[in-house]
Amino acid sequence: MLTRKQKQGDDQKPVSRERRKLEHNESQGSISRASKRKLSPDEYTVGWICPLEVEQTAALVMLDEEHERLPQPSTDHNVYTLGGIGGHNVVVAGLPTPGNNPAAAVVTQMRTTFPNLKFGLLVGIGGGVPVVTDNGMIRLGDVVVSKPAGGHSGAVQYDHGKAEVGQFRRTGALAPPPAVLLNAAQDLAAKRARSCKDPVLENINRVDTDIPGLRKYQHPGATHDHLYPSDYVHGDPTLSCDRCGCDPTLRIQRDIDEDANDERYVVVHRGTIASGELVVKNGTLRDELAKQHGVLCFEMEAAGALADFPCIVIRGISDYCDSHKNDQWHGYAAAAAAAYARQLFFHMPIDEVKRYVIE
């Protein structure tokens, strides 16, 4: 795995914006110039669920090709984008509103319309827990991927349980990611560790940030990654930290290589992701739940999607689940998660996906 301080060799020069734009336009031209293929609903095997618009836009950029839309039952109110990545036929769907219940409804309708879907990728942004993993401390712009760890299946519904004397006991369990996805994630990690170029970063560069509507996907820069003590509360949620008067001297200092290019690699952490109905904006609560469940990231849809559909959860870190959270990192974090998801397809054997049987 590429480390945060690893630099490219002297023989590798940064790719210019013009070159990236040309390569992106060439790849996108295959979608716009060619007539869209029309497949049958039975030919689609993987679902890609992205709750927010910023996540859905990033997902569409990652497709190799788009397919013609298909008729849907009158009971299916989802809007799908159909396409292919690495030889896999993919169904992309957004959610009307974030949350576990909307996710469950979308997945149910999707599986009815596309009966041969084997599993799903739940891809988007999430709130990170600033803890240290094997790949360093979790920071904004990193990616967290669900993986069974610490007695959990890879995802835990932290707000579902029973109130007992003096404590809240969590009940129920969420299904782990399918073995084919866990194996693909491990294979991707092993091959990234040996690569001088980061394929996930190359996927992020598919997003042409010269287009006005895609400028939000630019990397904000490490100087805009601020972490405050968990008990230091942001005064006014309508104002930025600078305008609100948050004391910059209280920011937690973390090791950072100032002359490293933050955009040359994407750090990926694998472990437990917490799902709940409420947005966590409290650093103290974040740390308590993280310590209790060994959580690396918080989000709002996994529990609904995983109720009866095997998925892997992929989240780009856009904030630290505290009162200082804002939207500055939403675009880049969504692009990073989508870029990782795209790369994962190239490590899934097509025949194995088709043979996969939902237990």
Instruction: Please give the tally of structural domains in the chain.
Output: 1
284 pLDDT above the threshold of 70: yes
Q: Give residue 306's pLDDT band: very low, low, confident or very high (50, 70, 90).
A: confident
163 pLDDT above the threshold of 90: no
Residue 334 lies in a domain: yes
Residue 4 lies in a domain: no
Residue 36 lies in a domain: yes
Supply the CATH number for residue 281's domain. 3.40.50.1580
Residue 5 lies in a domain: no
pLDDT score, position 22: 53
Q: Burial, 197: exposed, middle or buried (Cβ in 10 Å; 0-12, 13-18, 19+)?
A: middle
Residue 220 lies in a domain: yes
Cβ(326)–Cβ(226) below 8 Å? no
User: H or E segment at 161?
Assistant: strand 161-164
Residue 111 structural domain:
29-256+267-349
pLDDT score, position 160: 60
pLDDT score, position 171: 47
pLDDT score, position 57: 98
As a whole number of Å, the CA-based R_g of the chain is 20
Residue 14 lies in a domain: no
> What residues pair up with 146 in beta bridges, in sequence order?
271
